[in-house]
């Protein structure tokens, strides 16, 4: 399976460095690149990382952006996407203007060029200095893993049409593989007809690969009936895409890692802490200080994590946690711990069969339940570990 790390803050670089050889590349959102221009472009160039630069065009067309217009990335994005004439009085990208074929075509080209050249251009100043010191090769300019045509959240047939049209227009406009970002609106996940229709439209395009995103999907909170819809979506998509076209899940946690390890799809992007799901209508904000509990495969507050670890006697085996309890870890240690555990999880489940994985999840659930001495503790621990049961019930019917 391919593994991508989603970068959201530049302070994560050190933690990512410890695992460079274990993942395929990084995913960087355009607004993150524009917020930390030099740090992020320099990091990718200097380490020669494979990367996907997600243009996140949907972000410019939905309401919460209004509260973001004072952020430093907003003006840089408008300027570098060359979309001044698509922005309305409220500062939003007016998608109705893209009904004009010529205008859409130009928009598509600008968005593809941005992804192809932006990292190289931003690190160009540094490179031109290096050029004086040693021979530099033009071909070494780092190109992304793939390019993504502009896209918007599919909450209407009109926006689905627009996304498909943008893919079709991009096909002969880049030397790089064209990967379609498919943002599935959460409610649509449960409507089989709508899902089949959306999948069919994308499969019929000549896109080279697909990046799937079920909006605001938090696999830790979902019931097994919902998880079954989720796993079916990916299974269906991969079966129709065939072996030549990759299907990558853009947001997911441990449940999604299990699906990827059993080749339900080709790759998964891990967030670090907060980005295991994404609500496009949310405003975001600083990550709360949480500890990823390995046996639960989910985040808890550090105090609750301390409590659970002491009771269940299941400590994390990663170097960060060897001599400290969760509540003693500093922010960067929490980040390093998360990545350590993600990589350990992946290594551990890859050789296991699905039956073995299911048995292990069942075993952990029972162990947590038995460890809780009294009924009250049991109730609390069950609230933390319910997702293990939901995952088991869903995976059993895969």
Nearer to Zn ion, 316 or 368 (CB): 316
Binding-site size, Zn ion (CB under 5 A) = 5
Nearer to Zn ion, 241 or 309 (CB): 309
Least distance CB 222 / Zn ion (angstroms): 26
Handedness of CA 65, 71, 75, 76 (dihedral sign): negative
Least distance CB 253 / Zn ion (angstroms): 16
Query: Residue 308, interface with Zn ion (CB under 5 A)?
Result: no
Query: Residue 295, interface with Zn ion (CB under 5 A)?
Result: no
Helix (H) or strand (E) holding 231: helix 224-241
State both tokens at 36: 């930390």
Least distance CB 317 / Zn ion (angstroms): 7
Footprint of Zn ion on 193-232 (CB under 5 A): none
Residues near 134 by Cβ (< 8 Å), separated by ≥ 6? none
> Using DSSP, how many helices (H) and how many strands (E) does the chain show?
14, 9
List the Cα angle 97/110/54 in 5-degree steps.
100
Backbone angles phi, psi at 182, to 5 degrees: -115, 95
Least distance CB 116 / Zn ion (angstroms): 38
Least distance CB 2 / Zn ion (angstroms): 24
Instruction: Select the span of 136-144, 278-286, 336-344, 381-389 touching Zn ion (CB under 5 A).
Output: 336-344
Largest CA distance in the chain: 71
DSSP string, 98-164: GGSHHHHHHHHHHHHHHHHHHHHHHTHHHHHHHHHHS---GGGSPPPS-B------BSSHHHHHHHH
Nearer to Zn ion, 164 or 320 (CB): 320
Least distance CB 371 / Zn ion (angstroms): 19
Least distance CB 85 / Zn ion (angstroms): 50
Nearer to Zn ion, 299 or 320 (CB): 320
Footprint of Zn ion on 313-332 (CB under 5 A): 316, 318, 320-321
Nearer to Zn ion, 293 or 357 (CB): 293
Nearer to Zn ion, 37 or 302 (CB): 302
Query: Residue 337, interface with Zn ion (CB under 5 A)?
Result: yes
Question: Can you tell me the distance from the alpha carbon of 13 to that of 43, in angstroms, rounded to the nearest whole number?
Answer: 8
State both tokens at 222: 């979902």
Question: Can you tell me the distance from the alpha carbon of 190 to that of 214, in angstroms, rounded to the nearest whole number?
Answer: 11
Q: Return residues touching Zn ion (CB under 5 A).
A: 316, 318, 320-321, 337
């Amino acid at each position: 399976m391919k593994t991508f790390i989603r970068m959201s803050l530049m302070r994560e670089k050190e933690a990512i460095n410890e695992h460079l050889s274990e993942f395929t590349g990084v995913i960087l959102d355009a607004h993150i690149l524009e917020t930390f221009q030099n740090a992020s472009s320099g990091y990718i160039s200097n380490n020669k990382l494979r990367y996907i630069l997600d243009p996140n065009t949907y972000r410019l067309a939905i309401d919460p952006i209004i509260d973001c217009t004072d952020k430093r990335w907003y003006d840089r994005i408008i300027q570098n996407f060359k979309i001044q004439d698509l922005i309305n009085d409220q500062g939003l990208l007016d998608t109705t203007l893209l009904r004009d074929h010529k205008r859409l075509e130009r928009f598509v080209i600008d968005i593809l060029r941005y992804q192809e050249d932006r990292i190289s251009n931003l690190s160009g100043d540094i490179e031109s200095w290096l050029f004086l010191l040693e021979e530099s090769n033009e071909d070494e300019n780092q190109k992304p893993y793939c390019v993504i045509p502009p896209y918007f959240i599919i909450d209407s047939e009109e926006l689905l049409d627009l996304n498909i049209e943008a893919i079709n227009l991009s096909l002969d406009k880049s030397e790089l593989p064209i990967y379609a970002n498919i943002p599935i609106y959460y409610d649509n996940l449960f409507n089989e007809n709508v899902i089949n229709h959306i999948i069919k439209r994308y499969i019929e395009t000549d896109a080279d690969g697909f990046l799937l995103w079920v909006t605001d999907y938090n696999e830790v909170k979902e019931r097994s009936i919902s998880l079954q819809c989720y796993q079916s979506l990916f299974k269906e998509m991969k079966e129709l895409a065939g072996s030549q076209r990759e299907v990558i899940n853009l947001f997911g946690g441990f449940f999604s890692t299990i699906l990827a390890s059993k080749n339900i799809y080709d790759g998964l992007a891990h967030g670090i802490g907060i980005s295991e799901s994404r609500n496009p209508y949310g405003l975001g904000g600083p990550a709360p200080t949480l500890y990823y509990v390995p046996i639960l495969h989910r985040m808890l507050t550090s105090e609750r994590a301390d409590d659970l670890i002491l009771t269940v006697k299941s400590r994390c085996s990663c170097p960060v946690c060897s001599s400290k309890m969760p509540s003693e870890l500093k922010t960067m240690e929490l980040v390093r711990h998360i990545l350590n555990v993600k990589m350990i999880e992946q290594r551990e489940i890859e050789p296991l069969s699905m039956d073995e994985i299911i048995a292990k999840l069942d075993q952990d659930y029972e162990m947590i339940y038995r460890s809780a001495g009294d009924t009250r503790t049991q109730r609390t621990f069950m609230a933390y570990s319910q997702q293990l049961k939901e995952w088991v019930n869903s995976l059993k019917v895969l």
